[in-house]
Chain A
């Protein structure tokens, strides 16, 4: 960052990356705080667990055993579900489903939302129009919005992905627009314009690096919200369809057997708790690092 080599490069290619470098370095510093390290470690362990699922449970998530709703045993550590499938295996595979949703839909939502927020640079009308569109999205409760998405594209992973993406757009879009409006009047942005720097370069070099912090923190917070969107839609039966497990869907079914087989909800419940904890710790650590700059 401080050598001449890095300052070279065309503005188009080097500038955004360079801005990102600075931000990235602060985020990595956040991960070295106790809170950040705990969050990252926990999330890392959960991701590893999800990745290793096929190796840990070679039978897959829908191998049916003899007895349904069996208690814990050496073969099934958390017992089996109503169809005699191993709850532990299904929980881990459910985590796999959830992580695959969160780690794709939330970043996609952040990027698209930010671009919508920044669209005002191209034209005032476009920017205002985008904000009204975001207002409309904001006007619907998350579940209703998710249901309409399901109506259009049917249930499944893609519907959950789209729901999480769309519900998050106003959060990121408004954040980006607010940041843009502040940054546009900053004297260093004006100074770049007086120098004749191209608009695109001004955006990537001066505006974006200075508004990205709250967006990243919001993304970490939104991870937690997204977990609940998945669980919420699955609980009303609009999420992942059987036999594929998801944490929300398992909670939904497990709740019916709460009295006879409490371990059924405890497995996915505990994993959801850990996942939420990991993202909360991470967003806290990021937020602190960003505030301290």
Chain B
């Protein structure tokens, strides 16, 4: 399959493009001791030539198993029990294993989620790409030159030199490019990408998505993209398939589905996502409950326990996928199938009046904090080199107020948070709580009772060997609650976060991710803190659960007058929750101010690029000019001179070589005409370039 032939095929026009892959009635089951798990249940989907099909769903929806079933690579003890997979006129399920093996990699290739483990760490990337070529019959010499071409094609700068590097010498985004190069080695006509950008930062995600789009346009490669992110679907896919409980509940062209949903799950999921362009006037309309356990699916429509339209028929009979709505759209719903429109959700008011007054004296103050995360190991000569992950950061949080802290991984936001609560030691600067410095013994105690931490990973933040009661008791004991009163306090705490007494004596493994996060919040609240530091509290959760936790955090803040330092990489979540926002880059805050001002008129080019890179769940956003940053975050070991952002800045010396000031002088946070503080010599220059209002 070569590029020219592909090009001719795509010229037939997008609408007429015939099916490349046609899956009909696919069923995959896992026979386990606890019974048969129907992970993929009667799934049908079509990938058209040169098109991108998005398969979207929450954990346990069967989207990944569907992809692996297509390649007949279902992990043990899974078995494909029915259906057919037509690929260019052949039924893949009927092929012999040698034929199937020849097809994998050459005609259908796969890109995995985690570029870290998809590459062999002891082989050079060039060898790994060449290996893919040699497997499919290339000579050694041609394999190497083709490997070089592929590396250039996926945008690895300086490919001649880097071809003999090992995977660890590449950053995460670059590694994912190498993985894509390997997938392209066999000139496949279909690429199956399983959450290709989930492990990557938003600016890197934008690079990879742009690359996949380019491959489709230039080589005519069709892509089956598996994702949980509606924003990624809206921005990159031509068609979308929404999965829930092992079945397809809705499918159709992206423009049609995003304009008008025919399944209540799709409709409510889109409504439950926080948006980049509106603040927190209303609570998110969260879908109640949680995604079903694939081993114990509810009878009838799997969504009925969470559905606001459910009626008797939904509880007993499974609805089939029938054409309804716009052109090419179909959905599996008894109610909308009769032509009943999905009623709009009642807006839940944000209890704006009930909100405890924000502002006042700041409860938590951080001044010029520097944190050295160097190994402390001495070199052969001289003193150890300090590595400042946080380099001179100041911020403050008042009661009832949320300060959002955004930045990419490695920018130092978690280190900052951990230093505030005393897990890491500051190298300079100070943290004060209600006026007392945290460095002093009295201040340390004040800090612990006033500032608590909500962790990112709900599966790691609770001791698996201790019941919920024991975990809460420990915190209550620290507050000095006498033992007889702890039982009542613990159940009050659980009720406060939406759980109940029956949960108290269970172990963490009995809970879902969202419930564990609630328990983590309850433990943090047990000492009656005034400030909560939330370190990516929703990023490990399913989309429908995210909204529930965000709502919980909001109502706790408003009822208890808590101040939040809310750390996240998801800009729309920060927008929804925050009053003020601080953008962090390589250990420094580059822009900070009221959230609406920063989001609508970003002054620092990095903020502009972050906002522009964030995928939005709407198809109109596709047309905007996106600012995709080049390169990766530099190492804090050796930060660039002058402005730290200059190595990636679209308005810095890269684009304007005459701007020496960016190299020579470090910008400081100064007030801009728009009202917020930004640390840029040319602040505001990109505000009008931003794709959004």
Q: How far is the CA of A2 from the CA of B504 in the complex (A)?
A: 9
Q: Give A258 Cβ to nearest chain B Cβ, in Å.
A: 50
Q: Give B537 Cβ to nearest chain A Cβ, in Å.
A: 12
**Knowing that A187-B461, A190-B453 are A-B contacts, what are 15 other residue pairs whose CB atoms are under 8 Å apart, sorted by A's residue number?**
A1-B467, A4-B469, A7-B467, A7-B470, A11-B474, A23-B465, A188-B471, A194-B422, A194-B452, A195-B523, A196-B449, A197-B474, A205-B466, A209-B465, A210-B463
Stretch with Cβ within 8 A of A (4 or more), from B202-210, B475-483, B557-565, B613-621: B475-483
Tell whether B462 is near chain A: CB-to-CB under 8 Å. Answer: yes
Report yes or no: B455 in contact with A187, Cβ–Cβ below 8 A.
yes
Q: How far is the CA of A119 from the CA of B469 in the complex (A)?
A: 30
Q: Give B14 Cβ to nearest chain A Cβ, in Å.
A: 47
A4-24 vs B, CB cutoff 8 Å, 1 = contact: the mask equals 100110010000001100110
Q: Give B364 Cβ to nearest chain A Cβ, in Å.
A: 14
Tell whether A193 is near chain B: CB-to-CB under 8 Å. Answer: yes
Closest 3 CB pairs of A and B: A196-B448, A187-B461, A2-B505
Contact status of A11 and B477, CB under 8 A, knowing A190-B455, A195-B448, A209-B465:
yes
Contact status of A188 and B477, CB under 8 A, knowing A194-B448, A195-B448:
no
Residues of B close to A18: CB separation below 8 A = 470
A-B contact pairs, 24 of them (CB 8 A): A7-B470, A7-B473, A11-B474, A18-B470, A23-B465, A186-B460, A187-B457, A188-B461, A190-B423, A190-B455, A191-B455, A191-B461, A191-B523, A193-B423, A194-B421, A194-B452, A195-B474, A195-B527, A197-B474, A205-B463, A205-B466, A206-B463, A209-B463, A210-B465
Q: Which residues of chain A (240-287) have a CB below 8 Å from chain B?
A: none
A-B pairs with beta carbons under 8 A, tally: 71
Report yes or no: A192 in contact with B474, Cβ–Cβ below 8 A.
yes
Q: Which residues of chain B (424-455) have a CB below 8 Å from chain A?
A: 445, 448-449, 452-453, 455
Q: Which residues of chain A (200-232) have a CB below 8 Å from chain B?
A: 205-206, 209-210
Task: Point out residues on A near B: beta carbons under 8 Å.
Answer: 1-2, 4, 7-8, 11, 18-19, 22-23, 186-188, 190-197, 205-206, 209-210, 293
When the two chains form the complex, which single residue of B456, B462, B478, B483 contacts A197, counting CB atoms closer than 8 Å?
B478
Residues of A close to B328: CB separation below 8 A = none
Task: Name the residue on B nearest A190 (C-beta).
Answer: B423
Residues of B close to A206: CB separation below 8 A = 463, 466
Q: Give A78 Cβ to nearest chain B Cβ, in Å.
A: 47
Report yes or no: B453 in contact with A194, Cβ–Cβ below 8 A.
yes
Q: How far is the CA of A275 from the CA of B661 in the complex (A)?
A: 79
Q: What is the interface size of chain B, counting residues whose CB is below 8 A from a CB of the partner?
A: 35
Residues of A close to B465: CB separation below 8 A = 19, 22-23, 209-210
Between A8, A187, A206, the greatest number of chain B beta carbons within 10 A of the residue's beta carbon is seen for A187
Residues of B close to A4: CB separation below 8 A = 469, 487
Q: How far is the CA of A194 from the CA of B483 in the complex (A)?
A: 21
Q: Give A128 Cβ to nearest chain B Cβ, in Å.
A: 12
Report yes or no: A188 in contact with B460, Cβ–Cβ below 8 A.
yes
Task: Name the residue on A nearest B520 (C-beta).
Answer: A191
Task: Name the residue on B nearest A193 (C-beta).
Answer: B423
Q: Give A236 Cβ to nearest chain B Cβ, in Å.
A: 43
Q: How far is the CA of A194 from the CA of B473 in the complex (A)?
A: 15
Q: How far is the CA of A289 from the CA of B466 in the complex (A)?
A: 18
Tell whether B464 is near chain A: CB-to-CB under 8 Å. Answer: yes
Residues of B close to A1: CB separation below 8 A = 467
Report yes or no: A196 in contact with B478, Cβ–Cβ below 8 A.
yes
Q: Give A201 Cβ to nearest chain B Cβ, in Å.
A: 8
Q: Give A29 Cβ to nearest chain B Cβ, in Å.
A: 15
Residues of A close to B463: CB separation below 8 A = 188, 205-206, 209-210
Residues of B close to A187: CB separation below 8 A = 455-457, 460-461
Report yes or no: B469 in contact with A7, Cβ–Cβ below 8 A.
yes
Q: Give A112 Cβ to nearest chain B Cβ, in Å.
A: 24
Q: How far is the CA of A23 from the CA of B464 in the complex (A)?
A: 12
Q: How far is the CA of A4 from the CA of B473 in the complex (A)?
A: 10
Q: How far is the CA of A8 from the CA of B470 in the complex (A)?
A: 9
Q: How far is the CA of A188 from the CA of B465 in the complex (A)?
A: 11
Q: How far is the CA of A23 from the CA of B466 in the complex (A)?
A: 11
Residues of A close to B462: CB separation below 8 A = 188
Report yes or no: A191 in contact with B453, Cβ–Cβ below 8 A.
yes
Residues of A close to B452: CB separation below 8 A = 194-195
Task: Name the residue on A nearest B475 (C-beta).
Answer: A195
Q: How far is the CA of A210 from the CA of B462 in the complex (A)?
A: 12
Q: How far is the CA of A251 from the CA of B672 in the complex (A)?
A: 89
Report yes or no: B464 in contact with A210, Cβ–Cβ below 8 A.
yes
Report yes or no: A194 in contact with B464, Cβ–Cβ below 8 A.
no
Task: Name the residue on A nearest B451 (C-beta).
Answer: A194
